[in-house]
Amino acid sequence: MGWRCGIIGLPNAGKSTIFNALTAAQAEVAAYPFCTISPNTGVVPVPDPRLQRLGELLKPERLTPTTIEFVDVAGLIAGASRGEGLGNRFLADIRDTDLLVHVVRCFDSPTCPHPLGSLDPVRDVEVVETELFLADLEVLGRQLAKLEKKAKSGDKDAVRACATLAKAEAALSRGQWLKDLPWSAAEWEDLAPVALLTVKPYLLVANLSEAEFRGGAAYGALQELARTRGVPLVPILGDLEAELMELPEAERREFLDSLGLKEPGIIRLIRESYRLLNLVTFYTIVGPEVRAWTVPAGTKAPQAAGRVHSDMERGFIKAEVMRYEDLVRLGSPARVREAGLLTVEGRDHVVEDGEILHFRFQRSG
């Protein structure tokens, strides 16, 4: 199972350009696996300084990072939620993603016209978000109609679910993202079967020309919007970064330095996406391989073992746990053990970010 980030936005915003830069970013983290599942889906390694450090320390034959997927979705236009343009296709494509990455155009181009005739990122954000809201209202309406019939016949669960869905409808009508509401666990369960979009974590990408990057008014307005709304905003120089990824490391460095950047925007985008997905990274050291794994926050040890191998979950006995910090400070797993800092945890252990886990399990069969 992977985590999927859907790249959405108006046509000609630069979604495919950024997708291409992302999938070429394997050069940035060389020797890591990368594969394209379909023309529009790319698996991208997550840059991980801790894994690099473990590599330097333990010198394994293989260092395997964790990955996330990016999906380059068809462009969306006003009316998409009612099937305009590639509307239905667009909605189907993003329903099964875990995060929405909204690419907003912040560049002028004589050769590539803006679909709405002018450069105005704040308006563009509004147009796209309106479609997300309308799409959610539509599925909620349909689901409510079904549930109301059940509720009338006295189904208690349906009565409660109706109340939750009506609350969601009211919030959307006020312009609130469903992800920002303090839902109870029971309410989340009511919402889970409904294919909603505004429950997903969300971030904005400013796709910038160099001129806008150096203080353009359009970018400024988008920054202000992101700040007031508290939405993460990642600046990317789409065209340039796509080309940059094909250059040798030294030239790339020089170019980034000339822009005053520490790293390419797409690398920040991968890190920021990973952060918003609310995932936890743990590590395993097995034979010649040190490997990073991803589980949702709150996952317990047996289910984490199941990520590595289903037999390990079935036959789970216990997990030996080291902290990344202890290993780096003391220099080897043996010293961590000698220092008494290796703990043995059972089935109820909740895996924390940065743990190095060794699973003990009963082999089946």
Ligand X SMILES: Nc1nc2c(ncn2[C@@H]2O[C@H](COP(=O)(O)OP(=O)(O)OP(=O)(O)O)[C@@H](O)[C@H]2O)c(=O)[nH]1
Residue 170 near which of ligand X, Mg ion, none (CB within 5-8 Å, type-dependent): none
Identity of the residue, 20 or 64, whose beta carbon is nearer to ligand X in the bound complex: 20
Torsion of CA 269, 85, 38, 279, to 10 degrees: 40
Closest distance to ligand X from the beta carbon of 17 (Å): 3
Q: Is 330 exposed, middle or buried (0-12, 13-18, 19+ CB in 10 A)?
A: middle
Tell me the DSSP string of 168-212.
Answer: HHHHHHTT--GGGS---HHHHHHHTTS--STTS-EEEEEEE-HHH
Residue 172-201 contact track with Mg ion, rule CB under 5 A, x = bound:
------------------------------
Q: How many residues bind Mg ion (CB under 5 A)?
A: 2
Of 37, 52, 53, 109, the residue at the interface with ligand X (CB under 6 A) is: 109
The 205-234 contact track toward ligand X, x by CB under 6 A, reads --x-x-------------------------
Query: Site mask, ligand X, residues 170-199, x = CB under 6 A?
Result: ------------------------------
Contact between 217 and 119 (Cβ < 8 Å):
no
Q: Does 15 bind ligand X (CB under 6 A)?
A: yes
Q: Does 17 bind Mg ion (CB under 5 A)?
A: no
Tell me whether residue 16 or residue 281 sits nearer to Mg ion (CB atom): 16
d(CA 315, CA 317): 6
Alpha carbon separation from 148 to 65, 141, 188, 195 (Å, rounded): 47, 10, 18, 18
**Pick 22 or 199: Cβ nearer ligand X:** 22
Question: Phi, psi at residue 291, to the nearest 5°?
Answer: -135, 140
What does 206 interact with, of Mg ion, ligand X, none (CB < 5 to 8 A by kind)? none
107 or 202: whose CB is closer to ligand X?
Answer: 107
CA angle 260, 265, 271 (to 5 degrees): 125
Q: Are 86 and 80 in contact (CB under 8 A)?
A: yes
Work out the widest C-alpha separation in the chain, in whole angstroms. 70
**Which residue shows structure tokens 């630069």?**
14
Q: 282 CB contacts (<8 Å, ≥6 apart)?
A: 292, 293, 295, 304, 351, 352, 353, 354, 355, 356, 357
Among the listed ranges 15-23, 41-49, 187-195, 203-211, the one in contact with Mg ion (CB under 5 A) is 15-23
Q: Which partner, Mg ion, ligand X, none, binds residue 349 by CB below 5 to 8 Å per kind?
A: none
State which of positions 233-252 bind ligand X (CB under 6 A).
237-239
Residues 267-306 that bind ligand X (CB under 6 A): none
Task: Report CA 66 to chain centroid distance, whole Å.
Answer: 12
**In a 10 Å sphere around its CB, with 0-12 CB exposed, 13-18 middle and 19+ buried, how is residue 224 labelled?**
exposed
In the complex, minimum distance from the CB of residue 192 to ligand X, in angstroms, rounded to a whole number? 30
Site for ligand X in 36-95 (CB under 6 A): 75
Binder of residue 11, out of ligand X, Mg ion, none (CB less than 5 to 8 A by kind): ligand X
> Considering beta carbons, is residue 131 or 355 the nearer one to ligand X?
131
Using CB under 5 A, pick the residue from 16, 23, 64, 198 that binds Mg ion.
16
Residue 16 or 198 with smaller CB distance to ligand X: 16
**Residue 239 binding: pick among ligand X, Mg ion, none (C-beta 5-8 Å cut-off by kind):** ligand X
- Round to the nearest angstrom and report the end-to-end CA distance of the chain: 25
Q: Which residues bind ligand X (CB under 6 A)?
A: 9, 11-17, 75, 107, 109, 112, 207, 209, 237-239
Q: Which residues bind Mg ion (CB under 5 A)?
A: 15-16
